[in-house]
Amino acid sequence: MRLGVIGLGRIGTIHAENIMKLDDVELYAISDVREDHLKKMAERFNVARAYVDPYELIEDQKVDAVLVCSSTDTHADLVVACAKAKKHVFCEKPLSLILEDVNKMIEEAKKNKVILFVGFNRRFDRNFRKVKEAVEKGTIGEPHILRITSRDPEPPPIDYIRVSGGIFLDMTIHDFDMARYVMGEEVEEVFSTGSVLIDKEIGMVGDVDTTVVVLRFKSGALGVIDNSRKAIYGYDQRLEVFGTRGKISVDNVRESTVVFTDEHGDRGSRYLYFFLERYKEAYLEELKAFVDSVRNNKPPAVSGEDGKMALLLGYAAKKSMEEKRPVRLEEVML
């Protein structure tokens, strides 16, 4: 299978590296608007084709499937182009910040019978997957309460935040997808509130840096997400599902199992600080899942619909914070 990667930023490069690790899969073509960077990458991965223009990559007959890892605002056109060119496509999250575009992407993919796979990498983390499986198997009985804590070590640059669509579409969107994934049911209503506690500048561009979101699922189960843009101890990714037969939880991943004990007590290892450390393995598993979908023509593990639902939850959270009231999902659907 010949893969093409569009956009060799931080994430695109990870996918490229992971492609090199897989057998029977070739990193055949890459594309990046930054010509020098493209050259460097072409050498590093020693690929046959390097295109400044992503559409040339998409049109390349030899390319079987494309990974779209460029900036969010370019996703829609590129994914649509891939679909029209009958190329299976993996698209980084979020599909787009504009619902109409997402609908178009889904339609085109369907019409052209290509796989549209959305890059919600956390679903492929072994820990979260175990929780999903346990909930599915009924290990905890009927789920009643979901708790997600998701905190970043550092806020992104202010210029990134300005175009990010806000914390709910940029950061919480991962947690919205995780909530649907783990609970295996849809959200009916969203309430959210937020504050600017870390950096006034974030407030000045109209965003918040600390939030709490409450989810009401169709079954009546309740969910809570708390986010912060800055956790001094590093990447904080915890989850708990509480149900009629018990609770199941995922703790953070530590650097080591070393514990030092002195008169002040025990000191455990620090957390993996950065999401690329934390989800290194998950990114590879994600790629394998995409390749598996393409090769065996399986429905994608994370579909366009999944991408759309996460976006809608982001819309609802945004509206809820603006209007200071719970918002039902229908209110933000087209």
Footprint on residues 95-154 left by its own copies (CB under 8 A):
126-127, 130-131, 134, 139-142, 144-145, 147, 149, 151
266-284 burial: b if 16+ Cβ within 10 Å, else e = eeeeebbeebeebbeebbb
We find the least distance from the C-beta atom of residue 242 to its own copies, in angstroms, to be 7
Contact between 204 and its own copies by CB under 8 A: the answer reads no
Question: What is residue 165's DSSP assignment?
Answer: T
Residue from 137, 220, 296, 334 in contact with its own copies (CB under 8 A) = 220
- Residues between 20 and 59 with contacts to its own copies, criterion CB under 8 A: none
Site for its own copies in 232-271 (CB under 8 A): 232-234, 236, 242, 244-271
With respect to its own copies, which residue has the nearer C-beta, 53 or 142?
A: 142
Which one of 15, 228, 287, 302 is in contact with its own copies (CB under 8 A)? Answer: 228
Q: Which of residues 159-198 bind its own copies (CB under 8 A)?
A: 191, 193-198
The only residue of 56, 154, 186, 226 in contact with its own copies, by rule CB under 8 A? 226
Q: How far is the CB of 233 from its own copies (least distance, A)?
A: 5
Judged by CB under 8 A, the chain residues 310 through 329 that form the site for its own copies are: 324-326
Burial class (CB in 10 A: 0-12, 13-18, 19+), 160: exposed
CB 206 within 8 A of CB 175: no
SS3 state of residue 149: strand
Closest separation in Å from C-beta 73 to its own copies: 31
Q: How are beta strands 2-6 and 26-31 bridged, if at all?
A: parallel
Q: How many residues bind its own copies (CB under 8 A)?
A: 72
| Closer Cβ to its own copies, 101 or 207, answer by number | 207
End-to-end CA distance of the chain: 37
Task: State the nearest-atom distance from the C-beta of 320 to its own copies, in Å.
Answer: 10
Q: Quick one: 74 or 219, whose CB is closer to its own copies?
A: 219
CB 310 within 8 A of CB 180: yes
Task: Give the nearer residue to its own copies in terms of CB position, either 20 or 163.
Answer: 20
Cβ proximity to its own copies: between 80 and 146 the closer is 146
Instruction: Considering the complex, state which of residue 104 and residue 328 has its C-beta at the smaller distance from its own copies.
Output: 328
Report the candidate in 203, 176, 154, 217 with the shortest Cα–Cα distance to residue 308: 176
Residue 93 CB, nearest approach to its own copies (Å)? 23
Q: Is 176 exposed, middle or buried (0-12, 13-18, 19+ CB in 10 A)?
A: buried
Neighbours of 229 (CB within 10 A): 24
91, containing H or E segment: strand 88-92
Q: Give whichever of 74 and 139 is closer to its own copies, judged by the CB atom.
A: 139
For residue 170, the minimal CB distance to its own copies (Å) is 18
Query: Given the complex with its own copies, which of 269 and 297 has the nearer CB atom?
Result: 269
If you count them, how many residues does the chain have?
Answer: 334
Q: 34: Cβ–Cβ under 8 A, 6 or more apart, which residues? A: none
Specify the DSSP class assigned to residue 332. Answer: G
Piece of the chain touching its own copies by CB under 8 A; list 103-111, 160-168, 228-236, 286-294: 228-236
In this structure, what are the phi and psi dihedrals at residue 268, rounded to the nearest 5 degrees?
-90, 175
Report the C-alpha gap between 42 and 49 in whole angstroms: 8
